[in-house]
Chain A
């Protein structure tokens, strides 16, 4: 009810829409509360945005009749982003919002919102500063929606993303200081797709360490893939994407893993 009230008070609302768990929920909630003329889900497309994620975003929008607009973003052309500093996300979101907000306003959308949730506030999120600078609102965070809350609500609404693993941009697989290039992003994307082809479910990251692919799996999959008989399949799948060495992280999936490696953030 609180979200519906917020949306009604800020309509019409344009949403920075990736099709992830949070923005999909916000887009569907806004469509339900405001009708199709009261919401516009805007996708920023770039090499750091996985094709599979784009397809999922389009499918959710189609199934829930959420109007969608796509914009190309060019964060990789910004040398400050490509250098991959620990505040890389700031430059990405600056590029996104500097293109998205004027388009939204020109189309009559008085409010621009994103899918930031309450849990995100405790994490290292330099992109949040760019959102503030562009007056982008975060109703899910402001209203105290946790990730689990959003998953539960999405399930009730029948949004398929309710059980979708979190899906940050592909650049998050590269350690800070490692230059972000189209080739590296494409390599990581192909590597993760190859592991999905092997049937790996749940949270999954292929962390890029130059010649080495470090694979982070959820707990169940980690136990399964530590079975030596399965090593060859996993290794061969990743060698085929250009890595020369393959390793499985013994702790498994960690959101913000590379932040920890570099001592960044919370």
Chain B
């Protein structure tokens, strides 16, 4: 896990990205996999990401934080692993 404001050796900073994305109104858990960052959003945030301008903003933020790819994970609603529960802002890195 990284702390907001501090990147890893590659300059990627998932924690700061999570904060920045939440300021767009997109609440989600982030999982970094190298240059790829996965978003595991709460339901209302999925709807926000249907808006192209919001997606562009998320992509721009990801670039600023060192990531080349951003993908929205489609969780199995039947699975209950807490990923989109009350602790949705917790970074899982």
A239 to B77, CA, bound (A): 14
**Least CB distance, B5 to chain A, in whole angstroms:** 24
Contact A214 B76 (CB under 8 A): no
Contact flag A249-B52 (CB < 8 Å), given A226-B46, A228-B46, A261-B34: no
Candidates B33, B46, B49, B58; contact of A209 at CB < 8 Å: B33
A223 contacts the other chain (CB 8 A): yes
Contact A257 B69 (CB under 8 A): yes
**Listed stretches A103-111, A148-156, A240-248; interface member:** A240-248
Contact B72 A226 (CB under 8 A): yes
**Least CB distance, B70 to chain A, in whole angstroms:** 5
Contact A245 B73 (CB under 8 A): yes
Interface residues of B in 33-89 (CB under 8 A from A): 33-36, 38-39, 43, 46-47, 49-50, 52, 55, 58-59, 68-74, 76-77
A234 to B72, CA, bound (A): 13
A228 to B77, CA, bound (A): 11
Q: Which residue of B lies closest to A238 (CB)?
A: B74
Q: Which residue of A lies closest to B71 (CB)?
A: A247
- Report A-chain residues with C-beta under 8 Å of the C-beta of B50: 223, 226-227
A263 to B72, CA, bound (A): 22
- Report B-chain residues with C-beta under 8 Å of the C-beta of A246: 73-74
A231 contacts the other chain (CB 8 A): yes
**Dominant secondary structure of chain A at its interface with chain B:** mixed
A: interface residue count bin: 20 to 34
Contact A214 B71 (CB under 8 A): yes
Contact B33 A250 (CB under 8 A): no
Contact flag A250-B36 (CB < 8 Å), given A260-B69, A261-B69: no
Contact B73 A251 (CB under 8 A): no
**Dominant secondary structure of chain B at its interface with chain A:** mixed
Contact A247 B74 (CB under 8 A): yes
Contact A228 B47 (CB under 8 A): yes
Interface residues of A in 164-195 (CB under 8 A from B): none
Contact A249 B70 (CB under 8 A): yes
Contact B46 A251 (CB under 8 A): no
- Report B-chain residues with C-beta under 8 Å of the C-beta of A247: 38, 71-74
Contact B69 A235 (CB under 8 A): no
Contact B69 A214 (CB under 8 A): yes
Contact A250 B58 (CB under 8 A): yes
Candidates B34, B35, B70; contact of A250 at CB < 8 Å: B70
Q: Which residue of B lies closest to A252 (CB)?
A: B55
- Report A-chain residues with C-beta under 8 Å of the C-beta of B73: 212, 245-247
Interface residues of A in 118-137 (CB under 8 A from B): none
Of the listed residues B33, B43, B69, the one surrounded by the most CB atoms of chain A closer than 10 A to its CB is: B69
- Report B-chain residues with C-beta under 8 Å of the C-beta of A228: 43, 46-47
**Least CB distance, B52 to chain A, in whole angstroms:** 7
- Report B-chain residues with C-beta under 8 Å of the C-beta of A223: 50, 52
Contact with B along A5-21 (1 / 0, CB 8 A): 00000000000000000
Contact A235 B70 (CB under 8 A): no
Interface pairs (14), CB distance under 8 Å: A214-B36, A227-B50, A228-B47, A231-B46, A245-B73, A246-B73, A248-B74, A249-B69, A250-B49, A250-B70, A251-B70, A260-B35, A260-B69, A262-B35
